Structure 1
Amino acid sequence: MLVVTRYRVEGSGGEVFRRDAASALAILSHCTGYLDGVIGRNVDDPGLWTLTTRWRDVGSYRRALSSYDGKVSAVPLLSRAIPEPSAYEVLETY
């Protein structure tokens, strides 16, 4: 499972967002089913950021977010995401 969340970060908020996203990834990385995650910034629009994670399955992702640590560290960040679908089923890998 692939989770792609996008964020609009204005002005000098990039470093704060990067720190918050790194903290969330550090917590999520200890959850069962977490595979990996990345923080990215759009090359053409530096105010557009993404937090992308991969999970073994949708249940692992949902359990991670419902855990105490997930609620404290990841959910506040995810609540600032651009409101759009974020969970994707991986159909093929190469």
Structure 2
Amino acid sequence: MLLVCRFTVPEASTGAFTERVDRALALLTAQPGCRRAQLSRSTDEDERFVLTAEFDSVVAYRRALSPFEVREHVVPLLSEADTDGPAAYEPLLVADGGEVRRETSLLARDAGTVRLGEAAGPSEPR
């Protein structure tokens, strides 16, 4: 699972923001199931940043956000992200060393129509 959070940060706040992200990334990547995370800055607009984190699964993502210290430092930071689009994605095609593999969706084909308590898991992935 891939977490993508976009931030708009005024130039005067950049130092404090990157310090907060530094702490958040250390806490997040120390959690089991968090493969890697990074903060990137736009080369076109200095005030635009993107934080990405890759997890083994949706379950690993949710568990990584559970410890108290993560909820204390990481969750408030993530709540400040721009809300103009989704933040959680699952990989469909993954390439490494010239080879591409297809990933199976963890979401059921009817995930958008089934309500809480109606399904136990994906019998047919998307």
Bucket of the pairwise TM-score, normalised by the shorter protein: over 0.9
Taking structure 2 as the reference length, the TM-score comes to: 0.72
The structure number with the bigger radius of gyration is 2
Aligned positions of 1:72-87 closer than 5 A: 72-83=72-83, 84-87=85-88
* 1:21 matched residue in structure 2: 21
Q: How far did residue 11 of structure 1 move? A: 2.4
Q: Secondary structure at the match of 1:93?
A: strand
Aligned positions of 1:1-94 closer than 5 A: 1-83=1-83, 84-94=85-95
Q: Which runs of 5+ in 2 are unaligned?
A: 96-126
Size of the aligned set, in residue pairs, is 94
Taking structure 1 as the reference length, the TM-score comes to: 0.94
Q: How far did residue 86 of structure 1 move? A: 0.5
RMSD: 0.9
Q: How far did residue 55 of structure 1 move? A: 0.3
- CA distance in 2: counterparts of 1:92 and 1:70, whole angstroms: 30
Identity across aligned pairs (percent)?
35
The answer (yes or no) to whether the contact 2:5–2:51 under 8 Å persists in 1 is yes
Report runs of 4+ in structure 1 exceeding 2 Å deviation: none
- CA distance in 2: counterparts of 1:62 and 1:70, whole angstroms: 11
Q: Deviations over 1:17-63 (max 9, x none)?
A: 11111100000111110000111111101101111000000111111
Higher relative contact order (CA 8 A, sep 6+): 1
Q: How far did residue 66 of structure 1 move? A: 2.2
Higher helix share: 1
Q: Which runs of 5+ in 1 are unaligned?
A: none
